[in-house]
Amino acid sequence: MSAATAAILFAGVILYATFGGADFGAGFWDLTAGGPERGRRPRELVDHAIGPVWEANHVWLIFCLVVLWTGFPPAFAAIMTTLYIPLGLAALGIVLRGSGFAFRKVVARLSEKRASGVVFASSSVITPFFFGAVAGGIASGRVPDNGGGDALASWLNPTSMLGGILAVVACAYLAAVFLTAEARTRGEPDLERWFRRRAVGAAAVAGGLAAGGVFVLHADSRHLFDELIDPARGLPLLVISGGAGLSTLVLLGRADPRVLRVLAAGAVASVVAGWGVAQYPYLLGTHLRIAEAAAPEATLWSLVLVLAGGALFLAPSFILLYMLQQRGRLENLG
């Protein structure tokens, strides 16, 4: 049961990385779109695309926290007492981002709009960086079983930096592809070009980072490196990720927007999944096993039942929302 719960937890991480990641990335492009006049149209597209689903995506993070602290309490405590600096900064980034987003749509004056826009955009970059750094700290085994690990070295280390930068770039890539698709759907060729150029750029940077990252991991997290390149474990996922990433770029100008979204999400999801597979059966580094950190069986069962029961309600509700949104979009277009 503990392995199943860990799989659910990791599914939450992957969903947050892809759906939440696209939103964070949209903030990245918002930040780098230039002055108010030049950046107006890309920003409007970002606003439009991110709109109502922001909160729904954000819920994956809370999902991960809740599953972690209920299903694996000691691991949660260990992570929180070690990586509190990046986690605290990520949390503050989320507050700023969330409120910037909430208010930008409502405030009327340009100066107010700009202020909340800057807050929204810069915290969209800070937050994924620190989450990536946290992932690096956990993956490289810098969180001790009982917590209270080195407050600085646990995230100021090569693997964490790689994780942080890779997270920002992956988010930017994901968002650029999603926004290219969005611009295509809405029939705005100049915006489509604008985001397509950036998607290619982000993909190139991500590819370069991944290549350089191999050396970083080899030197800093040997175990993670070995598992990732093991053909029976991490390697297939990395190959899938690279393949999906490349085919997104090739098809960027042609394919159906839905195909593009799936491919780009697949590229990011399989890298994250690769991390999960490489780390199994450990929850922290190579020292705390999933089963050792797990809560009693009854807790795990009730957790799974609650989430499964919730999914029964949530899935159709979400479809209803999505359909309404599509209808609204059509009206706005027409």
Task: Report, in angstroms and rounded to the nearest whole number, the Rg of the chain calculated over CA atoms.
Answer: 20
Residues 198-257 that bind other proteins (CB under 8 A): none
Instruction: Pick the binder of other proteins from 1, 84, 185, 236 (CB under 8 A).
Output: 84
Nearer to other proteins, 35 or 296 (CB): 296
Residues 101-140 that bind other proteins (CB under 8 A): 101-103, 105-108, 112, 116
Nearer to other proteins, 130 or 178 (CB): 130
92 binds other proteins, rule: CB under 8 A: yes
| Interface residue with other proteins, options 1, 70, 144, 240 (CB under 8 A) | 70
Query: Closer to other proteins at the Cβ: 219 or 320?
Result: 320
- Cβ pair 127, 149 in contact under 8 A: no
Site membership for other proteins, residue 328 (CB under 8 A): yes
Would you count residue 280 as binding other proteins (CB under 8 A)? no
Count of positions on this chain that bind other proteins (CB under 8 A): 81
Least CB distance to other proteins at residue 106 (A): 5
Contacting residue, 63, 120, 194, 282, with other proteins by CB under 8 A: 63
- Rounded to whole angstroms, what are the CA distances from 32 to 51, 119, 180, 186, 326? 19, 13, 16, 22, 28
Chosen residue from 15, 31, 46, 78 binding other proteins by CB under 8 A:
78
Which parts of 23-62 interact with other proteins (CB under 8 A)? 40-41, 44-45, 47-48, 51-52, 54-56, 58-59, 61-62
In angstroms, give the least distance from the CB of 108 to other proteins: 6
